[in-house]
Amino acid sequence: MEDTVIHRLLKSYFGYDTFRPMQEEIIRHAIDGGDALVLMPTGGGKSICYQIPALALEGTTIVVSPLISLMKDQVGALQANGIEAEALNSSNDERLNRDIIDRCLEGRLKLLYISPERLVGGTLQLLRQAKIALIAIDEAHCISNWGHDFRPEYTQLGQLREALPGVPIMALTATADKITKRDILKQLNIEDAATFVGSFDRPNLSLDVKRGYSARDKLRYIIDLIARHPGESGIIYCLARKATEQLAAKLRTAGIAAGVYHAGLPNSERDRVQNDFVADRLQVICATIAFGMGIDKSNVRFVVHYNLPKSIESFYQEIGRGGRDGLPCETVLFYNISDIITLRKFAGESGQHEINLEKLARMQEYAEAQVCRRRILLNYFGEASDKACGNCDVCHNPPRAIDGTTIVQKALSAIARAEERIGFTTAINILRGNMTPDIVAQRYYELKTFGAGHDIPQRDWRDYMLQMLQMGFIEIAYDDDRHLRITDLGREVLYGKRPAQLAVIVREECGPKARKQRPKKEAAATATTTATAGDRELFELLRATRKRIADEHRWPAYVVLSDRSLHQLAATKPTTLTAFGNCYGVGTHKRDTFGAAFIAVIKEYIARHPDPTGP
Ligand code: ADP
Ligand code: ZN
């Protein structure tokens, strides 16, 4: 390892041996006084890009951040590493806030977190007399109304350049589209800033799409998934508030500590749920997209999308909340035809409906894809990728196609005979020969195609119909009760002028995929846990110690040590402070303050379990 000042700071304060790609370049650029725009995915490691310069430079680094909860967590994490950091906010009493400003003026503060409205609304005047080393603007896309998170208070940050001339500005965001990028630079008056685009690859997130699952299938799958992750945290994103509540109730019935988070709940309740999740009192959160921005929890081990997200940006940001510590995180996306119908409706009703429909179409293509999903994501974020990743469902099970002409013809014929006045459900009921009230009322049982597809299970029909929609054989008349229409292309198939291919449906419970996938899943699950039962026991003891220390300081557990650090401790069992200090994520301050407590637990464990192969 290179032994330079910034490497020493990384090791002694954060306990890490190496920088991630781009971090070092960004840090050197900031220390040299350059403005920068930093684009990295959620969990990519943006904070260190300004925290190390803050430690290396004289004076205070100001960090503008939109959410109080986010600030508190970051400040807690910095303090746990022995770094002088504070946050100015309205939940402090004013004496504390004045004291913080004084410390800044006296040069006794390395990092000062502040909301944009507080900074421009007065504090900036006070700070002009302080030595400011750097201004970091987190979630910088909030300045742009092109972004998905516009916050008017951010637009005032344009005055920083003039108010604090000569102080370098670093804008950071996980949103990478071109317009937003340009907008950030322009509005902050840093048009000559160097732009750094970190890799958007998060190889530790597995990618998996499950198509056409019914609510019951999803629930069963989710319960199995949680069982694969005993004691580990996860997030389940749902489209609707009601769905989050229903799902959480079902999970609780199954004995899982599940909470609900959506914008319809009072603030106090949302805070409580968030805190319980961060402190591992709730294992699973069923949430709408309202959840996540303020969460800085490093050990989220699974992220489920119960419904299709509205765009690839949202999707990637949401799964990005998993596996921040670099350990494996399982992500699963459920995708249903009804999601598309609902989302298209939302998109159609929104202000920028063309853009939104376009984004939804890209998301849908992703879910439908026959090529490596990570490749698609990376290409989407402008990072050319031509390799299959080996950690997505497509890589694990390259798709096979069959001649689906007859199947497609049966479906199209049912739609045609019902005079294109039916939706998906009725079409499938006709094909399957189901005597539902609707079928009886409309006398669809008299159609020649009634029951023509009874040999194909209901859910396979759902899947095939979806494929037909994707391939343009049918379309949905949104303006006419969402009835199905046969397209020109569809008519060619119906009249035998063109063949149709369908992708073979493979589900885990049956068929070859089950055998192929199961070992991989178990491997993935155990990779996040330790190798032996003995180590597992020690891990649990260390975890309890971590919890005790965290509770004493009113910190979330991961602020004390990450899961990854605990696993390393359980595996290497250090019994000296020096050995402890060499572990991943342990800086000097953590070694000196918490080392003894963990070492005592390890020693006690070793005494109870003498190594039979040892001396
Ligand atoms: P984000 O880009 O979302 O702000 P963070 O800055 O919170 O991401 O970093 C995500 C996680 O990665 C944190 O737990 C952080 O400590 C860790 N991390 C950052 N840089 C490194 C590194 N060079 N080596 C190991 N872990 C790192
Ligand atoms: Zn892949």
* DSSP structure string for 512-576: HHHHHHHHHHHHHHHHTS-SSHHHHHHHHHHHHHHHHHHHHHT--HHHH--HHHHHHHHHH---S
CATH topology of domain 401-503: Arc Repressor Mutant, subunit A (1.10.10)
Q: Which residues contact 367 (CB under 8 A, 6 or more apart)?
A: 209, 211, 308, 333, 335
Please determine, for residue 505, whether its predicted confidence score (pLDDT) is greater than 50. yes
- What single letter denotes the amino acid at residue 526? T
Ligand nearest to the CA of 49: 1
**pLDDT value for 325:** 86
**pLDDT value for 384:** 65
Q: CA nearest 405: which of 469, 497, 507?
A: 497
Q: Which residues contact 553 (CB under 8 A, 6 or more apart)?
A: 76, 80, 559, 560
Ligand 2 centroid distance, CA of 377 (Å): 10
Find the range with the poorest average confidence among 77-81, 315-319, 358-362, 504-508: 504-508
202 lines ligand 1 (CB under 6 A): no
pLDDT band of 513, cuts 50, 70, 90: very low
- What single letter denotes the amino acid at residue 191? E
**pLDDT value for 68:** 80
26 lines ligand 1 (CB under 6 A): no
181 lines ligand 1 (CB under 6 A): no
Is the whole-model pTM more than 0.85? Answer: no
Tell the residue number behind the tokens 């806030």, with chain if given: 97
Ligand 2 centroid distance, CA of 368 (Å): 14
Contact by Cβ (8 Å): 312, 148: no
Can you count the helices (H) and strands (E) in the chain?
Answer: 28, 17
77-89: pLDDT as tens digits: 999 999 999 999 8
Please classify residue 489 by burial: count the beta carbons closer than 10 Å to its beta carbon, then call 0-12 exposed, 13-18 middle and 19+ buried.
middle
Ligand nearest to the CA of 205: 2
342-374: pLDDT as tens digits: 898 888 777 777 778 878 888 988 898 777 899
297 lines ligand 1 (CB under 6 A): no
Ligand 1 centroid distance, CA of 566 (Å): 17
**Cα-Cα-Cα-Cα dihedral sign, residues 597, 599, 602, 608:** negative
Please determine whether the domains at 3-197 and 532-608 fall in the same fold group of CATH.
no
Please determine, for residue 38, whether its predicted confidence score (pLDDT) is greater than 80. yes
Residue 29, number of CB atoms within 10 A of its CB: 20
Mean pLDDT calculated for residue range 549-562: 87
pLDDT band of 258, cuts 50, 70, 90: very high
Q: How far apart are CA 101 and CA 117, in angstroms?
A: 16
Mean pLDDT calculated for residue range 129-137: 96
Q: How far apart are CA 407 and CA 430, in angstroms?
A: 14
Contact by Cβ (8 Å): 27, 6: yes
Ligand 2 centroid distance, CA of 333 (Å): 14
Alpha helices in 369-505 (DSSP H): 373-380, 393-396, 405-417, 424-432, 437-442, 458-470, 488-494
- What single letter denotes the amino acid at residue 403? D
**Structural tokens at position 216:** 């019951």
Residue 587, number of CB atoms within 10 A of its CB: 20
Q: Tell me the best of 324, 565, 566, 586 to mutate to test the pocket of ligand 1, counting ligand atoms within 8 Å of each CB and taking the most.
A: 324
Q: How far apart are CA 575 and CA 569, in angstroms?
A: 10
Class at the top of the CATH hierarchy for domain 205-396: alpha beta
Q: How far apart are CA 26 and CA 181, in angstroms?
A: 17
Strand-strand pairing, 483-486 and 474-477: antiparallel
Find the range with the poorest average confidence among 264-268, 283-287, 385-389: 385-389
**pLDDT value for 472:** 77
End-to-end Cα separation, the chain, in angstroms: 34
Residues constituting the chain: 615
Find the range with the poorest average confidence among 22-26, 88-92, 152-156: 88-92
pLDDT band of 506, cuts 50, 70, 90: low
Q: How far apart are CA 173 and CA 182, in angstroms?
A: 13
pLDDT band of 545, cuts 50, 70, 90: very high
Ligand 2 centroid distance, CA of 200 (Å): 15
List phi, psi (to 5°) of 79.
Answer: -60, -40
CATH of range 532-608; options 1.10.1060.10, 1.10.150.80, 1.20.1070.10, 3.20.20.70: 1.10.150.80
Please determine, for residue 531, whether its predicted confidence score (pLDDT) is greater than 70. no
> What is the residue-averaged pLDDT of the chain?
88
Please determine, for residue 521, whether its predicted confidence score (pLDDT) is greater than 90. no
pLDDT more than 70, % of the chain: 92
pLDDT more than 90, % of the chain: 58
Ligand nearest to the CA of 39: 1
Q: What's the CA angle centered on 96, arms 90 and 100, to 5 degrees?
A: 100
- What single letter denotes the amino acid at residue 373? R
28 lines ligand 1 (CB under 6 A): no
Ligand nearest to the CA of 374: 2
Domain ranges of the chain: 3-197, 205-396, 401-503, 532-608
Q: Which residues pair with 211 in a beta bridge?
A: 335
Q: CA nearest 292: which of 193, 416, 148, 492?
A: 148
Ligand 2 centroid distance, CA of 394 (Å): 6
Ligand 1 centroid distance, CA of 500 (Å): 48
**pLDDT value for 526:** 38
439-494: pLDDT as tens digits: 999 999 999 999 999 999 998 998 888 778 767 788 877 667 779 999 888 999 99
**pLDDT value for 534:** 58
Q: How far apart are CA 363 and CA 374, in angstroms?
A: 13
Find the range with the poorest average confidence among 4-13, 171-180, 590-599: 171-180
**Nearest residue by C-alpha to atom 12 in ligand 1:** 45
Is 3-197 in CATH node 3.40.50.300?
A: yes
Contact by Cβ (8 Å): 255, 205: no
Ligand 1 centroid distance, CA of 606 (Å): 32
**Nearest residue by C-alpha to atom 5 in ligand 1:** 45
Contact by Cβ (8 Å): 151, 67: no
SS3 601: helix
Residue 573, number of CB atoms within 10 A of its CB: 17
pLDDT band of 260, cuts 50, 70, 90: very high
Q: How far apart are CA 87 and CA 99, in angstroms?
A: 11
pLDDT band of 176, cuts 50, 70, 90: low
Mean pLDDT calculated for residue range 196-216: 91
**Nearest residue by C-alpha to atom 18 in ligand 1:** 45
**pLDDT value for 510:** 32
Which residues are close to ligand 2, an ion, with C-beta < 5 A?
Answer: 372, 374, 388-389, 392, 395
**pLDDT value for 236:** 98
Q: How far apart are CA 90 and CA 120, in angstroms?
A: 14
